[in-house]
Chains A and B, each alone.
Chain A
């Protein structure tokens, strides 16, 4: 569609410019109902079945604020070390768009519920970067449009569009950072680590599903470059809806190299929104500042001000989860991890799952092994997030228990896990239905042993003669005969017993 942009070598960008980042993250809250009406807040559903006069913007309908949404907003604010407003209001952000039923978004403008906070973000090598938080405010999501005809569902060239307002009015918290400066070549990594840390924090708060793949966590990345030694920020672009951790890193990196080339070529960066292409990791131009709307914000007259009492805020402060940095330290110590292991664990996004698996009785090392290696690969190959794999920490813990008790070998354990993932039920059910139990019935094994010994009388003689290590060949034969379901150790014992050595 657009010509390939000139890109500057990344090393050169860093040599000549300082990148400045600004990240805006939209989080859908996991409340039971929408922000301003009693419609269910669930993902998907038959179109236009989770709607009412209020979220459809019917004439005469009015909003009433979901108290749980406010509570979640305050808890997010506190977790981000923000001040909580003593008094704030909603405002109307006025612009026309078909997916927005009232043609204004009920949002907060100059009076956010939480402001002036920070989040400490640990990079892969353990370096901690403090990201300052400008604000966290409450607002509502829009409906969804489906573009029909023209070029495969894209908005451009479509013949017409179909609108579903199930998502309209779903509670959103928008979290905006202050400009992140001084991160140099690590800027893309910082962007990714920030979103990752934020995601873990929100998950720990249990305020959102934080599913980037379903859009319950969405990131817009503002990027600008300033010449080394300059004191004023350069013109920024805002790359919209970067919807995976990897994409956040790629989008920032791409914009840095693109803007570097523009600036080095004597051009100026256009202040505009840009769209990220997952396929090739590039961004393309969207709306420019000149055509930006005048939102005509004003206080929402249909909602009264919010004045959270200090008692309430203090109550909510008691519900704060462990701080991410403290948690890292604790986990490293408790589970005795190397810095590399710790990094892999956190990058895998599996910390909560591993913790839950340990809590369900598994050993930390085994729990980690399952999630960070085997299950992470499974998730990867299915192109889904680890958290959405259809297996629970309790099920993983049960599998490790079966291995520890000798009822499963590691190889069989993987079969069991695959069975669980395939929807065959609990681990014990899979063992049962797939017949995966270690063959521990001596009589069945003895038959196999006798058969193997009879087939290789020379080997049997060697063993009888004291060459116990020769038993390996018989063990192998027995294992083969039992399709690997025998406990090798027991097989060896039975062989020796049988030859009377």
Chain B
């Protein structure tokens, strides 16, 4: 059974890009623990021989023709941007590396 620590919650918050407060860490640690404890029940019936279902529709091979469709203008694309410059989205300096 899970026993999720504060440190683990902090790690999750980092992965999820949430600058959670110390107070939230405590609240979430308790709640996630409780929820995970309860949902772990799925393990009871998820045996080897049961295939997983990822999609609720039995569809395959849904393809699009390789034909252009009208998209957005630069103005439309940038209309909702918090900041823009020279036709581009302006964002604070990026520290991380590309993957």
Binding site for B on A (CB under 8 A): 31-33, 37-40, 46-53, 55-56, 64-70, 87, 89, 95-99, 105, 142, 145-147, 150, 155, 158-165, 240, 273, 286-287, 293-294, 296, 298-299, 301, 303-308
Partner of B63, one of A66, A160, A287: A66
What are 15 A-B pairs with beta-carbon distances under 8 A?
A33-B69, A48-B78, A49-B74, A56-B72, A56-B77, A96-B17, A97-B99, A99-B98, A142-B98, A158-B94, A161-B91, A162-B85, A163-B88, A240-B98, A307-B60
A49: chain B residues at CB < 8 Å are: 73-74, 77, 87
Contact: A68 with B71, CB < 8 Å?
no
Question: Beyond A51-B77, A160-B93, is A146–B63 a contact (Cβ under 8 Å)?
Answer: no
B94 in contact with A147 (CB, 8 Å):
yes
Asked if B94 and A155 make an inter-chain contact with CB atoms under 8 angstroms apart, the answer reads yes
Q: Decide if A48 touches B88 in the complex (CB within 8 Å).
A: yes
Contacting A at CB under 8 A, from B53-75, are 54-55, 57, 59-74
Would A97 and B89 be within 8 Å (CB), given that A39-B71, A304-B61 are in contact?
Answer: no
**Cβ-based interface call for B43 (8 A):** no
Query: Which of chain A's residues have a CB closer than 8 A to the CB of B91?
Result: 98, 160-163
Contact A164 B88 (CB under 8 A): yes
Q: Check A53–B72 contact: CB distance below 8 A.
A: yes
Contact of B74 among A48, A155, A162 (CB under 8 A): A48
Compute how far the CA of A159 lies from the CA of B92 in the bound complex, rounded to whole angstroms. 7
Residues of B within 8 A of A286 (CB): 97
Alpha-carbon distance between A37 and B70 when the two chains are bound, in angstroms: 10
Alpha-carbon separation in the docked complex, A273 to B59 (Å): 39
A-chain residues with CB within 8 Å of residue B62 when the two chains form the complex: 64-65, 303-304
CA distance A476 to B70 in the complex (A): 66
The reply on B86 being an interface residue by CB < 8 A is yes
Q: Quick one: which of B60, B64, B85, B91 has the most chain A CB within 10 A?
A: B64
Shortest beta-carbon contacts, A-B, top 4:
A38-B69, A67-B63, A52-B71, A68-B66
Give the complex CA separation of A455 and B15 in angstroms: 91
Contact residues of B: prevailing secondary structure:
loop
Q: A48-B88, A51-B72, A160-B91 are in contact. List 9 more A-B contacts (CB 8 A).
A: A50-B71, A56-B72, A69-B66, A158-B93, A161-B90, A161-B93, A162-B85, A299-B55, A305-B61
Task: Check B86–A48 contact: CB distance below 8 A.
Answer: no
Residues from chain A with Cβ under 8 Å of B65 in the complex: 67-68
If the complex has contacts A99-B98, A162-B90, A163-B91, are A38 and B54 also in contact, measured as CB distance less than 8 A? no
Q: List the count of A-B residue pairs having beta carbons below 8 Å apart.
A: 142
User: In the bound complex, what is the Cα–Cα distance between A182 and B91 (angstroms)?
Assistant: 47
B93 touches A304 (CB 8 A): no
**Which residue among A147, A155, A294 has the maximum number of chain B CB atoms within 10 Å of its CB?**
A155
**Set of chain B residues within 8 Å of A52, measured between Cβ atoms:** 69-72
Closest to B97 in A: A287
List residues of chain B with CB within 8 A of the CB of A97. 94, 96, 98-99
Q: Are A48 and B15 interface neighbours, CB within 8 A?
A: no
Q: Which of chain A's residues have a CB closer than 8 A to the CB of B78?
A: 48
- Check A48/B87 contact, CB under 8 A, given A38-B64, A306-B60: yes
* CB-CB nearest in chain B for A240: B98
In whole angstroms, how far apart are the Cα atoms of A48 and B55 in the complex? 33
Smallest Cβ-Cβ distance to B15: which chain A residue: A294
Residue in chain A with minimal CB distance to B11? A294
Complex Cα spacing A56 to B74, Å: 11
Contacts of A240 in B (CB 8 A): 98
Contacts of A89 in B (CB 8 A): 54
Asked if A33 and B68 make an inter-chain contact with CB atoms under 8 angstroms apart, the answer reads yes
CB B94 to nearest CB in A, in angstroms, measures 5
Q: In the complex, A70 Cα to B99 Cα: how many Å?
A: 24
A38/B93 in contact, CB under 8 A:
no
B93 and A159 contacting across the interface, CB-CB below 8 Å: yes
Bound-state Cα–Cα, A49 to B68, Å: 13
Shortest B7–chain A CB gap in Å is 15
Bound Cα distance A380, B88 (Å): 34
Minimum Cβ distance to chain B for residue A63 (Å):
9
Chain B residues positioned under 8 Å from A304 (CB to CB): 55, 57, 59-62
Chain B nearest CB from A405 CB (Å) reads: 44
A145 touches B94 (CB 8 A): yes
* Contact assessment for B17 and A47 in the assembled complex, using a CB-CB cutoff below 8 Å: no
Cα separation A68 to B15 with both chains bound (whole Å): 35
Return chain A residues, CB-CB under 8 Å to B66.
Answer: 31-33, 66-69
